[in-house]
Amino acid sequence: MSSRTLALVLLAVVFFALRIPGLDAPYQQDEFKSVVASEKSLASASAFLLHPPLVAALLRADAIVFGGEHMRVLPLISGALSALLLFLVVRRRFDERTAYISVALFAVSFYGVWSSLMVDMDGAVLPFAFLAAVYGYDRLRAASDRQWLWALFLIVALLFGFLVKLSFILVLGALMFDALIEYCALLTPRRVMLALLSVAGFALLTIGAFFLAGVLNPAFDLAGMLTHADSYAEGSGRNWLQVLVQAIKALYYLSPLLLAPLLLLSRDIAVRARIFIIYMLLACVFYFVLFDFSRGALDKYLMFSVVPLAVLSGAALIRMFRDAPSLGLARSLVFGIGYSAFLLFLNFLPHEVSALYPKTAWFSSIMQGRLNILTPFNGGSGPAGFYVSLLFIFAVFALSFLAAVVARIIPRFQKGAAVLIVLAGLSYNAVFIEEFSFGKIHGSVSEVLSASLSSLEQASKVITYNDIGAYELSAAGKYAGRFYAAPQFEAEHRERFTRHAEEGGVFLVIGIPPLYEGFYTEYFEGCTILFATRSKAIEGIVYGACQATP
């Protein structure tokens, strides 16, 4: 076996080994709804998913082929294809070594792992379409003959992307900006007119594809899709705190391994990776300025970033290892291993578990230097929830960016800095992936949910906190809805809880994050505990026979 084949096999083994344990992760909120709708029929999926037509078609195919309980398989396959395309694209733009490390970063990054498992299009299918478009674009530019073939490949890739998500306009914009920069000196009135006609022709082709989809699948609601997209255009009520929280969570998911090396980018790397930089800049304007995604799962929409950042950081790390002398390399290796062990140890120190509200309390804890608190990672499109130490997160970010800054100031330490960033980054992502898949350090939602569901065999109707277990409860015919423990819902829930309790219903509360002091804790204090279980910091309680609170 050649060294190239061995490297590719090892990358494939790492890629799948880190993702397969997460295939059984519980569906969460938006995922649950998408799965249930896709299980029923294409019409049901189309009516629920107000997105371009391929979304419902792909998820319906996923449900038919793999079954409702295993719909994470399609994003896993899409993620694997994205990794393959990433290798091909980076090898053409840089070299084979950079391609290997870029794919390796994508494989070991928690954001890459989660993006390859989420039941949606943003994590795996959209990056696949983006990379396919870039690959076709690169081959078209380099082709001396058969340009029509690569032009057709590019058109198909772009059309596929638009039929998956309207936000794919960012990819077309990135390609157009990149081409404008590269061929600016060669522009003539005739070529400008030809380019404009090409864009207009593609726009007509895309519109035609949408109308054709409506003919083939009458359940596809074009007007509903446009109305849904327009709902994000109103920015007057934007919740900037929520935007900030979601953006910070995305940075946590990306990890210092994909962020710290950006401080060492060179002009040569920026030129070769220009399309990825343009894509990132356009996306930042799109998601943070032009449209209001504070009401949605912004961390889900930002999953695209793992691909361009894997390229940029991979190229920067290769340059740091290649160009810098080996000054202090051995000491950096020893220190990096020792510090990584210390980082892992931080996770086992005593930690506080804080409620979600008030959100300012989390920022207050940081300002006071109290970092030994557990940060919950969950959301509207998953995961169902896991904890990671904020102290651990802070320590990894601090070391990684300090090493990057020192390397920027003193170039001869770049190789040692790269070692520190890689070792600390691998430890960081290992903890995130382990807690997501197994929860052996701070607790497993899957473990608590499984035990709690077993206790609900005699229950008729169940309301569940944060929608955890919604798919399983729905399949058993016991799902009576969800509740979010937020101040703005207290009045509504007061009446709803009372009706549910009077009808003999029960409540499933898997506390990640725990309920905050106030109405919710007071209400459940008046309930009978039918079942209780715990996995480390995650407690699961089934409540029944509740009394109404004044």
Q: What distance in Å separates the CA atoms of residue 217 and residue 239, rounded to the nearest whole number?
A: 36
Residue 146 or 541, more confident: 541
Residue 251 or 328, more confident: 251
Q: What's the rounded mean pLDDT across residues 94-122? A: 95
Q: What's the rounded mean pLDDT across residues 390-404? A: 95
Q: Which amino acid is at 383?
A: P
Instruction: Assess whether pLDDT exceeds 90 at residue 63.
Output: yes
pLDDT tens per residue across span 423-452: 999 999 999 999 999 999 999 999 999 999
In the three-class reduction of DSSP (H, G, I as helix; E, B as strand; rest coil), residue 74 is classed as helix
The confidence score (pLDDT) of residue 549 equals: 55
Instruction: Give the largest CA-CA distance in the chain.
Output: 78
Q: What distance in Å separates the CA atoms of residue 348 and residue 482, rounded to the nearest whole number?
A: 33
Q: What distance in Å separates the CA atoms of residue 146 and residue 128, rounded to the nearest whole number?
A: 24
Tokens of 260: 């710290």
Instruction: Assess whether pLDDT exceeds 60 at residue 479.
Output: yes
Instruction: Assess whether pLDDT exceeds 70 at residue 115.
Output: yes
The confidence score (pLDDT) of residue 534 equals: 95
- pLDDT band at residue 327 under the 50/70/90 scheme: low
Instruction: Assess whether pLDDT exceeds 80 at residue 118.
Output: yes
- Compute the half-sphere exposure of residue 419: CA atoms within 13 Å on the CB side of its CA: 19
> How many CB atoms are located within 10 Å of the residue 138 CB?
17
Identify the weakest region by mean pLDDT among 150-154, 220-224, 303-307. 220-224
Residue 14 or 242, more confident: 14
The confidence score (pLDDT) of residue 243 equals: 86
- pLDDT band at residue 326 under the 50/70/90 scheme: low
Identify the weakest region by mean pLDDT among 304-308, 465-469, 483-487, 531-535. 483-487
The confidence score (pLDDT) of residue 411 equals: 87
Contacts 24+ apart (CB under 8 A), 69-73: 70/23, 71/27, 71/35, 71/38, 71/119, 72/22, 72/23, 72/25, 72/117, 72/118, 72/119, 73/23
The confidence score (pLDDT) of residue 219 equals: 86
The confidence score (pLDDT) of residue 142 equals: 86
Q: What is the DSSP string of 170-234?
A: HHHHHHHHHHHHHHGGG--HHHHHHHHHHHHHHHHHHHHHHHHHHHH-TT--HHHHHHHHHTTS-
**Residue ranges of the domains in the chain?**
323-437, 445-544
Q: How high does pLDDT run on average in the chain? A: 90
Instruction: Assess whether pLDDT exceeds 70 at residue 41.
Output: yes
The confidence score (pLDDT) of residue 332 equals: 76
The confidence score (pLDDT) of residue 11 equals: 94
The confidence score (pLDDT) of residue 1 equals: 66
Instruction: Assess whether pLDDT exceeds 80 at residue 14.
Output: yes
Query: Rg of the chain over CA atoms, in angstroms?
Result: 25
Q: Which amino acid is at 54?
A: L
- pLDDT band at residue 368 under the 50/70/90 scheme: confident
Q: What's the rounded mean pLDDT across residues 154-161? A: 95
Give Cβ neighbours of residue 434 (< 8 Å, ≥ 6 apart): 440, 441
The confidence score (pLDDT) of residue 431 equals: 97
92 CB-contact burial (10 Å; exposed 0-12 / middle 13-18 / buried 19+): middle
Residue 431 or 494, more confident: 431
| Percent of the chain predicted with pLDDT > 70 | 97
Residue recorded with tokens 């530019």:
141
In the three-class reduction of DSSP (H, G, I as helix; E, B as strand; rest coil), residue 324 is classed as coil
Instruction: Assess whether pLDDT exceeds 80 at residue 2.
Output: no
Q: What distance in Å separates the CA atoms of residue 277 and residue 282, rounded to the nearest whole number?
A: 9
The confidence score (pLDDT) of residue 487 equals: 85
